[in-house]
Structures are given as C-alpha cells and as structure tokens.
Structure 1
Amino acid sequence: MINRGPMIGFFLAITTAVFWGALPIAMKQAVEVMDPFTIVWYRFITAALGLGLFLAWRKQLPTISNLGRMSWVVLVIASVGLAGNFVLYNSSLKYLNPPVVQVIIQLAPVMLLVSSAWIFKEKLGRHQIIGVIALISGLILFFNERLIELFTSFSGYTLGVSLAVAAALVWVVYGLAQKWLLRQFSSAQILLMIYIICAVILTPMAQPQQILTMDNRQLGMLLFCCVNTLVGYGAFAEAMARWQASQVSAVITLTPLFTILFVDLASLAWPQYVATVSLNIWGYLGAMVVVSGAVCCAIGHKFIRQSK
C-alpha cells in the first residue's frame, strides 16, 4: 500500500509557501494605517474563532487538563515565539518591501532544519547538507545589492533588516515548541491554544478602533491577513505532523519566489499601490539557487547516494 503521508505533507507545505508568499503584500497595505500589534491581534482573534468553531463542530477541542507543567511551559514558549514573530515581521514591513522581508525570513526554515536535526534527532542526509549550503548561497546572491547597504549605513533599512532577522529567530522557537507539543495534541488543537494565548498577550497593546480608519482596499487586505493565518499556519502545522520538519522547512523556502511572482502580478494590476521587484542578474541567479537548494533538501536523496 502506498504511503501518502509524504505526498500530503508536500502539498500542505506548498500551500503554506503560497499563502505566506502573498501575505507580506497584503500586510504592507494594512500597515499603512494600522499598527503591527493591532494587525496581529486581529489575525489571532479571527484564527482562534475560526479554528475553535471548526474543532467544536468536530468535537475535537483540546482537553486542557491533559496539560502537565512542562507542556504548559512549552505552550507558552510557542505562543510567545509566534506572537513575537508576527509583530516583528509586520514591523519590518514599515521599512522594507515584501520580497526583501521574505528573503531575510528564509533564515527561519534553514535554522529550523538544523535545529530539528539536533533536537529531534532527525538525521540530515548528504543531500540536505548540500541543499542547506545551496540555500544559504542563494540567499546571499539574491540579497547581493542590499548587503553593501546593510553594512555601510544605519538607516531605517538596517532597522528593518534587524527586525526581520529577529522575527526569523523567534519563529524557530515556535516551530521547535510546536513540534514537541505534537506528542500530546493534534496540530489543530495546538494552534487553537497558541492563538488564544497570543490574543491574550497582545490585547493590552491592541487598538481595535483603528479598523475604522481603513478604506475598502486596506480592510480587504486585513481580512486576507486574517484568513491567511488560519489557512497558512493550519497547513504548516499539518505538514509538520505528516512530514519531517527538515523537509517541510526546505519546501517553504520557496516562499520568497512566490512573493516575487505575486508582487509582479500585483504591480501590473495595481501599480499605484504595489511597486515592481527590481533585481539584478545576481539576484535572479540567487533565486534559482534557492529553488535548487530547496529541491535538493526535499528530494535530493533520490539522486545523491547517502553515506553508510
């Protein structure tokens, strides 16, 4: 009988990459009039309500009494990590355009890949090591024009890069904690608890009344961000449950390529709101190297003989 787990895991990971690829474009529009804390608060509230109703309908709500002390600690760590990632990611979009943020944030899956192999004893094959090297090299090439600016100035751009790097770091904390919690709960149950805790954490800093200042375009973008949280992270959590974290991480590294594609399409449809992506030849070469590295991590074992 064919094991469809990896196939489903790959499809879910691609779904995550597509939704996350479109996300910064929408958030860039919403952050024009709404602060990052409030945007993230709305996203968590919407996701918690949607996922909570779904689990209640299926009679699969998590049993809180099953949480031990260690599980509570890990759950809070996961929640703080995800909330921090959302806020830092949104904040970086005030200073950087979507493709640049997505390129920087790809540090997260690479770090998650290595961390998962270390903590969860998921063996890294030769193909994955080659893939990681290719991913890092590709990111450097893709980022070539910005590297000089980053290290020679202390502008808002530098602050934006710092916020994006911080967002990547705290996301790894969330990813590892979420993987640990899968021992007790389903991915959907974990996400529901995390969404609720994140919403509670951010409530004192949120200003819900800012939604009244949004026009129809910005309101639509906020709505998409909220739906994106439910679908994107739901697919990611299920992918983590069905596939190795290292392989999921490799596939979602395709996210910046989807962002570039969506930015180009959006700039054609709404040039007054979305600027085109400007890359030199090295940037495009870097994008291709990133894709090659992701493919190598995911299916390179079919072509590269592993050492015994």
Structure 2
Amino acid sequence: MSMVSGRWKFGLLLALTTAVLWGVLPIALKGVMETLDPITTTFFRFALAALLLTPYILLRGRHASGLSLFSRLQSPRLFLQMLAAGLLLTANYALYILGLERTTAEAAQIVIQAAPMLLLLSGIWLFAERLSKLQWFGCISFITGLCVFFSPRFYDVFIAVNAYGIGVMLIFVAALVWTGYAIMQKFLLQQFSSQETMVVFYWIGTLAFLPFADFTALPQLSSLQWGLLAFCGLNTLIAYGSFAEAMAHIEASKVSAVLALTPMITVTTVHLIPIPGLVVEPITILTLCGAALVVGGSMLTALGKPSPR
C-alpha cells in the first residue's frame, strides 16, 4: 500500500522549501555562535519551535482517528518509537552544530549531504529494492565528489585530524544519525500527522539541551544576532515541518533529490553575498567540480530507479 498522498507538486514545493532553509541555516548559525555556544544556540532553536507549534497542536485537538496525540502516546510501542526518533533528531542537531563550530558552512553542507543519500540507500535495503546502473553511477559520483571537494584539505581531514577534520567527522556521524531518524519518521507518519511528531521532537530536544544551556552570554547578543537566533528557531520549525510533510506526499527518493540542492544554495550564498566575519572555503575549479559531483551524484542515485519489469 502506498505511504504517500500523490500530491507531488505540493510535496516537491515542500522539499524545495526545506532545501533553501537548510542551505542558509549554517550561515545564520555561524553568526549566532560568534557569541553563544553551540548547545545554547541549539536549545533556543528547539525551544522556539516547540513554543510556536504547541498552541496549534492543542487547538487542533483530535486526530482523524478521533484520538488525541496524548491518547495515542499511551501506547508503549508508539511512545518508545516517538522517543527514539526524537532522541535521534536531538543527537543529529548536537553533532551537526558541534561539527559546524569547527568547520565552514560549505564543508558542513557538503558532508551532511550524505544524509539523504543514506536515507535512499536504507530505503533500498529495507524494501529489498535493487540499484540501477544509473544509481550505482550516482553513488560513485557522490563519493568521488566528496574526495575532490576535500582534496585541498586532505591533510586536515585524514592525517592531522585537527579541528577542521574533527568537525567533518562529527557532521558525517550526524548524517548517519539523521538517517535513522528519517526512517522512523516515515513509519510514525502512519499514526501521527507531521506536526504532531515534530512538536514532540521539539520538546524532547528542548528538555535534553536545557541542562547544558548557558544563558550568561545572552546580554552580549547584538540586535542582528537576536534576529539570527529567531530566524534559526523559525527555520527549524518550517524546514523540518516541510520535510516531514513532504515525506507524506512524495516518495523518499524525490525528497532526497530535491535536498541534494542544499550545498549549492549554501556555496552560492556565502560567495555571492559578503557576510562580515564569516570564514568561507577557498573556492577553486576543483572544489566546485567536487560540489557539483556530490549534488549530481545524490540526484542520480535518488531518481535513477530501475524500470519495472
């Protein structure tokens, strides 16, 4: 039985919204982290999203099944699934921002692109599908692109394993964790709406990060940084809400293909719009080719499905 609604135009629009928001997110986070530490920054992202979405869920009341969110969560199986997915998403946020602190926005987005690639591959394994020749070519292009993009920083990533290299590794682990979250989210959408799952995840993240948040630096935030912090919270709410809803309308492969555009959005933004204080990757023909191979490989792997026999 199909797990998608078939409203593909709406689903693609939602996926594109997610790609754009995720593309500019690391730039905003970098601006906030000039003053706030990564964990406190992430706490505010979760808390703001939770506070904004909760009234909507409470006013909406009951699910189509007639049972409220809290009633359905009384099922031990659904409760544990929801908790596990929320903790995976929380871990993804923590690993990503700790990695972003140590590397550049462009590098972070190139590495995190492994997440939709892994999501697609995991779907193939879960449902015993086979890879087409085009998909195998996409996988090889993706791996080649990563190697080409990071070739100027090969020593930092693979030999010295300095702050930059550690950041890259943390973000790759974040991609692995995100894949587990996305798989669980897909199954949870059979019992809950996307908004219901996300509000629970946001509260799990808020409570998980609260004990480690440090609010002493808040008075030092500039007006611009307060605006960036608010944008990060809204970005969290809209981007993940759009992603969860897109998964309900179109196949995971098509969502993955659209999300493949995210690194290009980041690279284009940081190099076309001067941002004071933001350290950027030195862009050369080699690194641009690497980024293009990563994006193209992701899209080929997502869309190059075997034709039905």
TM (normalized to structure 1)? 0.89
Specify which of 66, 69, 72 is matched with residue 66 of structure 1: 72
Question: Unaligned stretches of 5+ in structure 2?
Answer: none
8 A Cα contact 1:266 1:274, kept in partner: no
Residue 29 of structure 2 is matched in structure 1 by: 27
8 A Cα contact 1:247 1:297, kept in partner: no
Distance 2:204 2:241 in 1: 17
What displacement does 1:183 show?
1.4
What displacement does 1:260 show?
0.5
* AA in 1 matched with 2:58: A
SS in 2 for 1:140: helix
Distance 1:230 1:121 in 2: 33
Identity %: 38
**Is 2:297 the counterpart of 1:306?**
no
1:27-47 CA-to-partner distances (Å, cap 9, x unmatched) read 111112212221111111111
Distance 1:60 1:46 in 2: 23
Specify which of 206, 211, 226 is matched with residue 219 of structure 1: 226
TM (normalized to structure 2)? 0.89
Residue 147 of structure 2 is matched in structure 1 by: 140
What displacement does 1:119 show?
2.4
Residue 288 of structure 2 is matched in structure 1 by: 284
1:97-137 CA-to-partner distances (Å, cap 9, x unmatched) read 10011111111111111112222556655544433333332
How many residues were matched structurally?
300
8 A Cα contact 2:93 2:174, kept in partner: yes
**Is 2:174 the counterpart of 1:167?**
yes
Map 1:207-286 onto structure 2 (within 5 A): 207-267=214-274, 270=275, 272-286=276-290
* AA in 2 matched with 1:40: T
8 A Cα contact 1:263 1:275, kept in partner: no
Deviates more, 1:30-39 or 1:142-151: 142-151
Residue 43 of structure 1 is matched in structure 2 by: 45
Residue 52 of structure 1 is matched in structure 2 by: 54
8 A Cα contact 1:6 1:243, kept in partner: yes
For the structure 1 residues 95 and 29, does the alpha-carbon distance in structure 2 shift closer, same or farther, using more than 3 Å as the test? same
**Is 2:195 the counterpart of 1:193?**
no
Distance 2:167 2:159 in 1: 15
* AA in 1 matched with 2:72: N
Distance 1:7 1:201 in 2: 36
What displacement does 1:147 show?
2.7
* AA in 2 matched with 1:212: P
8 A Cα contact 2:16 2:258, kept in partner: yes
Distance 2:62 2:22 in 1: 27
Distance 1:92 1:262 in 2: 20
Residue 107 of structure 1 is matched in structure 2 by: 114
8 A Cα contact 1:9 1:239, kept in partner: yes
For the structure 1 residues 158 and 219, does the alpha-carbon distance in structure 2 shift closer, same or farther, using more than 3 Å as the test? same
8 A Cα contact 2:18 2:239, kept in partner: yes
* AA in 2 matched with 1:177: M
Distance 1:9 1:28 in 2: 30
* AA in 1 matched with 2:181: Y
1:9-64 CA-to-partner distances (Å, cap 9, x unmatched) read 21111111100000000111111221222111111111111112223344457522
For the structure 1 residues 299 and 107, does the alpha-carbon distance in structure 2 shift closer, same or farther, using more than 3 Å as the test? closer
8 A Cα contact 2:149 2:291, kept in partner: yes
Distance 2:84 2:236 in 1: 19
Instruction: Let me know the Cα RMSD of the aligned residues.
Output: 2.2
Distance 2:232 2:127 in 1: 32
**Is 2:89 the counterpart of 1:88?**
no
For the structure 1 residues 95 and 230, does the alpha-carbon distance in structure 2 shift closer, same or farther, using more than 3 Å as the test? same
8 A Cα contact 2:30 2:278, kept in partner: no
8 A Cα contact 1:77 1:173, kept in partner: no
Question: Unaligned stretches of 5+ in structure 1?
Answer: none
